[in-house]
Every structure is written in C-alpha cells, then in structure tokens.
Amino acid sequence: MILSSRVLGRAGETGPNSRINIGIVGNGLISDGHRGFCLTQKSVQLIALCDVNKQKLDKAMGDAKSKGITCDSYSDSGELCARTDLDAVMVTTPDHWHAAISIDAMRHGKDVFVEKPMTLTIAEGKAMCATAERHGRIVQVGSQQRSNRSFRKAAELVRNGYIGTVHTVVCRLGEFAEPTQFPEEPVPDYLDYDRWLGPVAWEPYNEQRVKGDYGGGWRRFWEFGSRKNGDWGAHHFDIVQWALGMDESGPELFVPKGFDGPNQYHTYSKGPKVIRDGDSKGAMIRFIGDKGEVLVGRDDKFETTPAELKGMILKSSDAHLHDSNDHRADWLNSIKTRKQPICHVGIGHRTGTICLLSGIAQRLGRPVKWDPVAQEIIGDPVATRMMDRPRRAGYALPI
C-alpha cells in the first residue's frame, strides 16, 4: 500500500511516509532528467507515469523498473491526477498540454512542476495563476537558469545597479526552420494521436510534427508551442525579468523581426530594449549598462566589465535574490514548507507572456502594445483575440 505523505505522523514525529509521491505526465526527451531525479531522491517516491505514446511510456517504465521502482502506468493524465495518494505532478508534455494538466492536478490538490514555457496562451497563464491561488498550490516552472549560480550573480549585479542604468539587453535565442505542411501519414498504433493533439485544432498526423526534437519537431509549430520565443525565451527573457526586478510586471512594446530593423525586440517603459539575437558577444545574455556590462551563459560563462564585479560580494543592504542551486530540489523544499519556489506560477506567467506576445507580434507582422498592469493588449482587437485560442471539442480547460 502506498501512503500519501499527507497521512499524519504521530505527535512530534515524521509521518509514516515522509516521502513525496510524484507522478510524471509526458515521457519524452525532457523528462529523462526529471525521472532520473525522482528515482534517486530519498525524499521522493515516483509512483505513476503517463504518456499517450506507449513506446515512450514503456521505455520510462522500464527505466524505473531497472532502478527497482515499480510505477503504475496511465495513458490518461486525468486518471493519474485523480489518484488520492499522489502529492505532486511533473508536467513534461509539449506546451499545448501544460495548462490543462497542471490545472487538473492543482484542482485535485497536487503541487506541480511544469516545463517551460508555462502555457501556450496568455489566457491559460492567467487561469493557472488563479487556480494555484484558489487551491494554495505550489507551482515551479522549469526555467531552471534561475537555479544556476552564474545567472543569479548576473541578475544580482544588474538588479543592484553595479553596471549602472541598463539600456540594452541582448538575448541569443536562435531560429527553427519555418513551419510547413507535411503530408498525412498513418497514425502509429502506439500513439493516441487524438489525445496527443488535445485542445489543438485537428491536423493530419505526420511524425515530423509530433516528434520531440530540440532542433524542431513539435517545437517548430505555432499550434503546439511558441517556437524559439518560448523554447529559449522562457529561459533568457526570464533572467532579464529577474534582473530588472520585473517579475510582477513586464515590457510594454513588442516589435517583430523585420518591422523596425533586422531584430525582434521588446521594451520596458522605464527600462531597457531587449533585443533578440543581436550582438551578444558569445554570451546567452548580454546586459549593457552605462557603467559596465555583464555577459552570462550556461557552463558557468560569466564575465563582467569592469572585471572586478565578477568576484564582488553583495552588501547586506543590496537585494539578494532567491538562492537555489537545484531547481527541482527547490520545488521539493517548497512542497514541504509551502513557501513559494524560485520560479513560481506568477513568474512563469509573466515570463510566458513575453514569449507569447513576441510570437503574436511575429505572426501578425506588426508591433503589439501591452499594458502589464491590466494585462491587456492595447488598441489591437485582432491581437487581443490571440491571447486565447479556441479549444477542440472535449478538451476545455478544466476549472
């Protein structure tokens, strides 16, 4: 029998199962690391795996079994979320399923780790924030650069004005190939294609549209994601928001590539211009201030001008940002203490909004003006309708 960690311990003692029971929905590329983490943590018990692709589900089940863990398998995330002995759910599906599964998990009282970008639409982001607040749930969004020391130090230097007033930020996102229409192929017998599509308007099956591939696959198509703006913007724009102290707000103007020069950009009302794919001097993010620069990337790339900023220690009066060196462990700690994690649902929504508005501007081929307080597009009814998408029959967003 599996006991939920909610079963109380005796007075003064730990409960009969102090481990957090976790289920994972989506077992593609990105889930390997998450599953590996769950299988090696003493405080975690992986009890359920779900996928609409039986091949991927079988592979994940086999991986767990090889480590001595027997999980229950599901093809319907609704059944997994309804389990009463489950404490938390990791949502690692393609983007178009993030919100529906996360909301379903929360309304069943589960805490959630959801991959980035948090949602496919701005309306979904608002719904996720409302659900988390209504149910008091912990949500960690997988923009894990926040849990990297170099990115945190870069954000702290910028936030505390050590490079002066930041006027420009350059973020390196790269490009996917343009979307295209692939010919219809027979749906393989191991895939529940209707459920894979879920809320997205029906399109014929083709493996290239469905497969997980960091260089393309479903990530290439607007129907399932927000292309590079969501894929890498959810990391880099997130760090920019953090560094600028804008986690509860956002930029006000989004200009697509080719409209006003060769680069896409967005601007904050009293802050910098954030340029996509400009001269980043080899860094993933380059902050340029009137007194210096900070260049940061993965693999501990971290350079400053002046150079001595790199090793400086913050003063006690400086803003110290949430210190996490392990994104998933930070989530587990939040589940236990009920304190907000480093990249909570509100942050994920605001960062996701930047990714999505950049995409709306790109698809419409014109600038989009945003009111970050009211969270509304200004003066463009067509763009406003793109804040949400119609959902296919039977796949409404749960409440």
Partner 1 sequence: MKIFPALLLAAGLAAPAFALDSAALSAVAAKFTNPSGEAQYAARIELNGLIDKATAPETGDSAAVSKLIVLAIQSNDTPLEAKKYLLRALGRIGDGEAVAALIPLLSDANALLKEEARTALESINDPKAAAALEAALAKTQDKRELIALANSLASQKSPSSVSALAPLVINKDPAIAKAALQAIAKIGGAPATETLLKAHASSMVSPALKPDIEMSVLLATPEDAKSTMQIYQISNSETVKSAAFLTLMKTAPADAKPAIIEGALKSPYYNLRHEAIAAGIRAALPSLTASLSQNISQMPLEDRLIVLANIHTLKPTDAAEKIALSQIASADETERIAAISALGQIPTKASFAALLQAVGAREPWANQAASAAIATVKFPDAEATLLTMLKGASSPDKILALKAIVTRPLPEIGMVLINIITGSDEAAAKEAMKSFYFTASLDDLRALCAEATSTADADKKKSLNSIASRIATRINTEEAAALAKSLQ
Q: d(Cα 225, Cα 324) in Å, to the nearest integer?
A: 28
Q: Should residue 291 be labelled a site residue for partner 1 when binding is judged by CB under 8 A?
A: no
Cβ atoms 98, 115 nearer than 8 A:
yes
Enter the tokens of residue 247: 């986690």
Question: Does 379 engage in binding with partner 1 (CB under 8 A)?
Answer: yes
The one among 179, 188, 258, 282 contacting partner 1 by CB under 8 A: 179
399 binds partner 1 (CB under 8 A): yes
Asked if 269 interacts with partner 1 (CB under 8 A), we say no
Burial degree of 341 (CB within 10 A; 0-12, 13-18, 19+): buried
8 Å CB contact between 5 and 20: yes
Among 107, 195, 257, 301, binds partner 1 (CB under 8 A): 107
Residue 305 binds partner 1 (CB under 8 A): no
108 lines the binding site for partner 1 (CB under 8 A) = yes
Q: Report how far residue 246's alpha carbon sits from residue 341's, in angstroms, rounded to the nearest whole number.
A: 17
Amino acid at 68: G
Is residue 177 within the footprint of partner 1 (CB under 8 A)? no
d(CA 104, CA 50) in angstroms, rounded, equals 14
List the beta bridge partners of residue 21: 45
| Binding status of residue 5 toward partner 1 by CB under 8 A | yes
Return the range that interacts with partner 1 (CB under 8 A); candidates 145-153, 231-239, 278-286, 366-374: 366-374
CB of 307 to partner 1, least distance (A): 5
Binding-residue pattern over the window 79 to 98 for partner 1, x denoting contact by CB under 8 A:
--------------------
Pick from 238, 311, 347, 348 the residue near partner 1 by CB under 8 A.
311
Q: Which range of residues in 94-102, 167-175, 232-240, 254-262 is near partner 1 by CB under 8 A? A: 254-262
349 DSSP 8-state letter: H
User: Of 172, 178, 190, 182, which Cα lies nearest the Cα of 57?
Assistant: 190
SS3 per-residue string spanning 109-146: CCEEEECCCCCCCHHHHHHHHHHHHHHCCCEEECCHHH
Among 3, 195, 366, 375, binds partner 1 (CB under 8 A): 366
Report if residue 300 touches partner 1, rule: CB under 8 A: no
What minimum distance in Å lies between the beta carbon of 30 and partner 1?
A: 27
Cα 155 from Cα 75, distance rounded (Å):
41
CB 167 within 8 A of CB 289: yes
State the alpha helices, DSSP H only, in 113-232. 122-135, 149-159, 193-197, 207-210, 227-231
- Which residue number, 65 or 320, has a Cβ lying nearer to partner 1? 320
Q: Is 18 in the site for partner 1 (CB under 8 A)?
A: yes
For 360, the token pair is 């709306």
Site size toward partner 1 (CB under 8 A) is: 68
Q: Considering the complex, state which of residue 28 and residue 225 has its C-beta at the smaller distance from partner 1.
A: 225
Torsion of CA 347, 351, 352, 354, to 10 degrees: 150
Tell me the window of 130-138, 267-275, 279-287, 290-298 that interacts with partner 1 (CB under 8 A).
Answer: 130-138
Site stretch for partner 1 (CB under 8 A), options 11-19, 95-103, 227-235, 287-295: 11-19
216 interacts with partner 1 by CB under 8 A = no
| Residue numbers at the binding site for partner 1 (CB under 8 A) | 5-6, 8-15, 18, 107-109, 133-136, 179-183, 201-202, 255, 259-260, 306-308, 310-316, 320, 323, 333, 336-339, 363-367, 369, 371, 378-382, 385-386, 388, 390-394, 396, 398-399
